[in-house]
Chains A and B, each alone.
Chain A
Amino acid sequence: MEEAPHGCPGADSAQAGRGASCQGCPNQRLCASGAGAAPDPAVEEIKEKMKTVKHRILVLSGKGGVGKSTFSAHLAYGLAEDGDTQVALLDIDICGPSIPKIMGLEGEQYMEDNLGVMSVGFLLSSPDDAVIWRGPKKNGMIKQFLRDVDWGDVDYLIVDTPPGTSDEHLSVVQYLAAAHIDGAVILTTPQEVALQDVRKEISFCHKVKLPIIGVVENMSGFICPKCKKESQIFPPTTGGAEAMCQDLKIPLLGKVPLDPLIGKSCDKGQSFFIEAPDSPATAAYKSIIQRLPGAAFDSEYKPREGQREDCGFVADLCLPQVDGSDSSLSPHWSLQPGIMLWLGAINIPQKRP
Chain B
Amino acid sequence: MLRAQGKAVHQCDQGWVPVFVDQEQSISLMSVGFLLENPNEAVVWRGPKKHALIKQFVSDVAWGELDYLVVDTPPGTSDEHMATVEALRPYRPLGALVVTTPQAVSVGDVRRELTFCRKTGLQVIGVVENMSGFVCPHCADCTNVFSRGGGEELAQLAGVPFLGSVPLDPQLTRSLEEGRDFIQEFPKSTAYAALTSIAQKVLHRMPALHS
Q: What residues make up the interface of A, taking CB atoms closer than 8 Å to B?
A: 4, 6, 8, 64-65, 69-70, 94-96, 98, 101-102, 127-136, 138, 162-167, 169-170, 191-193, 196, 199-204, 207-208, 222, 224-227, 229, 231-235, 237-238, 258, 260, 263-264, 266-267, 311, 313-322, 328-334
With A204-B44, A320-B10 as contacts: A231 and B109 at CB distance below 8 Å? no
- The smallest beta-carbon distance between A239 and chain B, in angstroms, is 11
Measured between alpha carbons, how far is A226 from B51 in the docked complex, in Å? 48
Interface size bracket, B side: 35 or more
Contact (Cβ within 8 A) B119 A134: no
- The smallest beta-carbon distance between A74 and chain B, in angstroms, is 13
Contact pick for A166, options B46, B53, B168, CB 8 Å: B46
**Chain B contacts for A237, CB-based, 8 A:** 173-174, 177-178
Query: Which 3 pairs of residues, A with B, have the shortest CB-CB distance?
Result: A135-B47, A95-B76, A130-B115
Contact (Cβ within 8 A) A227 B136: yes
**Chain A contacts for B45, CB-based, 8 A:** 166, 314-315, 332
**Chain B contacts for A232, CB-based, 8 A:** 170
Measured between alpha carbons, how far is A165 from B144 in the docked complex, in Å? 31
Contact (Cβ within 8 A) A136 B144: no
Contact (Cβ within 8 A) B134 A233: yes
**Chain B contacts for A165, CB-based, 8 A:** 42-44
Contact (Cβ within 8 A) A166 B44: yes
Contact (Cβ within 8 A) A227 B104: no
Which parts of B159-182 form the interface with A (CB within 8 Å)? Answer: 168, 170, 173-174, 176-178
Contact (Cβ within 8 A) A266 B103: yes
Which parts of B24-57 form the interface with A (CB within 8 Å)? Answer: 32, 35-53, 55-56
Measured between alpha carbons, how far is A267 from B39 in the docked complex, in Å? 36
Contact (Cβ within 8 A) B104 A329: no
Contact (Cβ within 8 A) A313 B44: yes
Contact (Cβ within 8 A) A235 B177: yes
**Chain B contacts for A131, CB-based, 8 A:** 77, 112
- State whether the Cβ of B121 lies closer than 8 Å to any Cβ in chain A: no
Contact pick for A6, options B9, B37, B48, CB 8 Å: B48
- The smallest beta-carbon distance between A34 and chain B, in angstroms, is 20
